[in-house]
Structure 1
């Protein structure tokens, strides 16, 4: 159990740091999005599955994150997104949760609204609520590697090792060089099947 708590605590910190980095990247990235760029996400996700190296995967992953985040520009009020991200970056998680909820209400099809609220709920310890939001993300974008990784962490926290294993197995199919997949999959296979990869 101590090992699981350590992984969960470490994972929370990693998620928070990654989200801060993504928000920073968004703030310095061009904010125009077209249908062509939205379709580009699918092409990039196809490329990610066959990426030859971790560095190539990292570049593709960053571009996908950027496109997912930019998807709100022609969908939702930009100032609301900026406000929600500022609250998140300032560590005002309860307020950020409310702000992301308002964004979801404005546009239920905006995937990153659901994903960001899932992240906030995870950091607040609302694992059930986070998992429900992740389900909404995956209905809209089945290859959302961030949401899949998050579901794996929640299943680990809940000692639901088979579901965690399935999440990380799926993650490595989408993104074979993903560090979370490499880190957790062998441990989970050992827990579920009594062997290592």
Structure 2
């Protein structure tokens, strides 16, 4: 039975390998999953310009109002499912223009996110007498939406780009919990056989 610092270099390398496998496998738990999702939400908030994101770290940040991470697959790049509504308040950095109301995010089981841009609906200005009758010719609700297709596409692309980029924050957090540095930190809590296997 040996402490980590008593092992030979090859045995230490083996011990690190064993511990990393444990950290990423049977020892990976809900706290690790929450930390990865917190890192993703915080990074997304920074990309979206959410209030408070730059002031607080991932553990203290309250999250993005109305948005949640449903799932992510760190084995497949950019596989992240997010649900909720982005608007001018919680995603100020997106390229909002008059005529665009919000972006709907729908998480899918395949760890993907459907992004849908919704136009602002112009309110009907007709009198109450026109209920169930044709609208007045100058009623704003009859006109074309004020946002162009290019403006809609720009908003959708910006939301998609933000989702793709924040996946790496989850990857970094997972690496910090399963990487060599973390394995070396927990190695002091265990004892090993001469060749670096965990002592039963």
Larger RCO, structure (CA 8 Å, separation 6 or more): 2
Flag whether TM exceeds 0.5 (same fold).
no
| More helix as a share of residues | 1
| More strand as a share of residues | 2
What TM-score do the two structures reach when normalised by structure 1? 0.30
